[in-house]
Amino acid sequence: MQISRGFTLLEMVVVLVMMGIVTSLALPGLQKMYDSMSSSLERNELNAVLNNLALDVRAEARAINFNSYPEGSHELPQRFLKRIEPLNVSLTMQEPLSITSTGFCPNAGVVRVTKGTKDYFLRLRSPDCHVVME
């Protein structure tokens, strides 16, 4: 009798079919995880941009008072606009946001963020207009 040391074609096909089944079950979960990580990264980037808004106002040494972006973008500092533009979001304040030329934010409030079809809200704190993590 001869001893066979290789795999038969049938064994290899069975293994490939099993790998295909496992991959098809795991792929949707991986896509959800990727989308979640991408969304989280974009949100963190927006938080960083908003956290620097008062500093950008202070750097330009002129007070701002705005209700929305991109509609009210003529009021906003150029450094802020350069960082927020690639994020493709629109911002709407429930109450107008005022920041003095020194970077003081006396009446921080809630910002409605719209990206595509998704909306979420961020709360800004006074006196530095930083995003409050909830």
pLDDT at 46: 92
Residue 48 structure tokens: 């960083």
pLDDT digits (tens, 9 = 90+) for 1-54: 677 778 889 999 999 999 999 998 988 888 899 888 988 899 899 999 999 999
Residue position matching structure tokens 């973008």: 73
Q: With beta carbons less than 8 A apart as the criterion, state whether 54 and 66 touch.
A: no
Q: Using the predicted structure, report yes or no on whether residue 134 has a pLDDT greater than 70.
A: no
Query: Edge-to-edge, what's the strand order for the sheet holding 110-115?
Result: 64-69, 90-99, 110-115, 118-125, 130-132
Residue position matching structure tokens 């909830």: 134
pLDDT digits (tens, 9 = 90+) for 82-100: 999 999 999 999 888 899 9
Residue position matching structure tokens 């808004």: 53
